[in-house]
């Protein structure tokens, strides 16, 4: 009978033979036996296995656990947590990873894993936001913590984050090359979108919002220090200001928390730079406004019906010269009727957690709305 160490070695060989893509990623992660670990866990640099747990698993189960921890590390689930609640973040990350594993042949998740087919295709940040809003989040089935930082509950430092990002970007590139050399295709489809966001990460929605609101030289030589402390690394206002027209989806599918968070962030940026010309509209199947971006308008949204994006874009087409310095922002879940003709003005969609897939927006730039602030309600 093989001991735990032999079973780990056999597992790595099986994974490399049957799934070269995941096997290549395993080369970037050390495997360690540790009796202090309950089952298995990772800090993004190594995977730790409890020997008794390893010996209890069938080969298909051990392979699934190995790939589970590899994906946590490779998808940067440890540094991406930032100051979010560790428990709920781990649950969200497990849902994403287990969703990928369930689509692979020859793998069997042991015990009673976190599975939610309705959430597994979203990025972990969105899954976290959705779970926060669920009243039954405390009843989620959970095996236990398997995401470890440098210290219990600690947030990964910026230098550690950069180091881990560089390490795993290299790993993703090598995994693709090795998988192709084995004739197994480039990347499993279930992993592709997640991988692309690691290799070529999307800008934070706040950064995209800023770039759409203000024309500045993109040389990153000077940052506004009033925003750095809040984790928003943006160029100082040095260029030509633009007018901003903001549509907020107030149909029945949008919750008040998403609206209040977005409008609070937007109001803060506008407070810092009051010369920006901004107007606010509320929209469901009809359009309401414009309103000034003041306290009264922000606290009294209008709407509650169905969703159509057409009224806002039709009005912008009628009122605004396409050659002017105007940008359009639309906060929505993306579920509604799009205009048949795209507008000639630049558009930034800011999509609430669980909203329409970014690839299904027919025009404009899409940013996913999430909050990095700590929440201990889990």
Q: How far apart are CA 330 and CA 248, in angstroms?
A: 6
Q: Is pTM, for the whole model, over 0.75? A: no
CA triple 35-41-47, angle to 5 deg:
85
Q: How far apart are CA 64 and CA 68, in angstroms?
A: 6
Q: How far apart are CA 310 and CA 332, in angstroms?
A: 13
Is residue 29 within 8 Å of 72, Cβ to Cβ?
A: no
CA triple 294-233-278, angle to 5 deg:
25
pLDDT band at 138 (very low <50, low <70, confident <90, very high): low
CA distances (Å), origin 284, targets 253, 261, 287, 335: 10, 19, 7, 11
Helix (H) or strand (E) segment spanning residue 312: helix 310-319
Q: How far apart are CA 142 and CA 52, in angstroms?
A: 20
pLDDT band at 18 (very low <50, low <70, confident <90, very high): confident
pLDDT of residue 111: 85
Instruction: Name the more confident of 206 and 115.
Output: 115
Is residue 243 within 8 Å of 324, Cβ to Cβ?
A: yes
Q: What is the pLDDT of residues 307-327, one digit of tens each?
A: 999 999 999 998 887 656 788
Q: What is the pLDDT of residues 149-175, one digit of tens each?
A: 754 446 778 888 888 888 998 888 888
Instruction: Name the more confident of 247 and 276.
Output: 247
CA distances (Å), origin 323, targets 216, 302, 345, 364: 18, 31, 8, 17
pLDDT band at 301 (very low <50, low <70, confident <90, very high): confident
pLDDT of residue 194: 79
| CATH topology assigned to domain 205-368 | Rossmann fold (3.40.50)
Which residues make Cβ contacts (< 8 Å) with residue 262, sequence separation at least 6? 248, 331, 350, 369
Q: How far apart are CA 211 and CA 315, in angstroms?
A: 23
SS3 category, 80: helix
Prior bond to 290 cis, omega within 30? Answer: yes
Q: How far apart are CA 350 and CA 263, in angstroms?
A: 12
Q: Taking the domains of the chain in order of start, what are their residue ranges? A: 4-199, 205-368
Q: How far apart are CA 86 and CA 96, in angstroms?
A: 15
- DSSP string of 136-156? TGGG-------B--SSTTPPP
């Amino acid at each position: 009978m093989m001991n735990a160490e032999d079973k780990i070695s056999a597992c790595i060989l099986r994974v490399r033979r049957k799934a070269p893509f995941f096997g290549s990623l395993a080369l970037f992660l050390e495997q360690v036996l540790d009796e202090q670990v309950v089952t298995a866990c990772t800090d993004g640099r190594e995977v730790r296995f409890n020997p008794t747990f390893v010996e209890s698993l069938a080969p298909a189960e051990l392979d699934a656990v190995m790939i589970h921890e590899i994906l946590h590390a490779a998808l940067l689930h440890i540094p991406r947590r930032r100051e979010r609640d560790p428990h709920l973040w781990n649950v969200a990350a497990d849902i994403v990873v287990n969703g990928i594993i369930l689509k692979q042949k020859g793998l069997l998740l042991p015990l009673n894993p976190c599975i939610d087919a309705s959430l597994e295709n979203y990025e972990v940040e969105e899954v976290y936001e959705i779970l926060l809003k669920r009243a039954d989040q405390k009843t989620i089935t959970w095996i236990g913590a398997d995401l470890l930082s440098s210290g219990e509950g600690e947030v990964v430092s910026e230098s550690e984050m950069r180091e881990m990002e560089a390490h795993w970007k290299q790993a993703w590139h090598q995994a693709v090359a090795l998988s192709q050399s084995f004739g197994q295709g480039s990347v499993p489809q279930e992993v592709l979108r997640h991988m692309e966001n690691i290799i070529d990460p999307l800008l934070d929605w706040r950064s995209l919002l800023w770039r759409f609101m203000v024309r500045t030289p993109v040389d990153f030589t000077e940052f506004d220090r009033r925003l750095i402390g809040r984790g928003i690394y943006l160029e100082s206002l040095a260029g030509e200001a633009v007018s901003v027209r903001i549509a907020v989806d107030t149909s029945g599918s949008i919750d008040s928390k998403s609206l209040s968070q977005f409008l609070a962030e937007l109001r803060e940026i506008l407070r810092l730079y009051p010369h920006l010309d901004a107007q606010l509209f509320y929209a469901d199947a009809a359009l309401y406004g414009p309103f000034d971006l003041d306290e009264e308008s922000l606290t009294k949204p209008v709407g509650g019906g169905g969703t159509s994006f057409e009224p806002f874009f039709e009005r912008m087409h009628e009122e605004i010269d396409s050659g002017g310095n105007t940008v359009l922002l639309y906060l929505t879940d993306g579920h509604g009727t799009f205009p048949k003709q795209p507008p000639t003005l630049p558009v930034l969609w800011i999509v609430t957690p669980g909203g329409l897939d970014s690839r299904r927006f027919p025009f404009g730039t899409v940013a996913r709305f999430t909050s990095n602030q700590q929440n201990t309600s889990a």
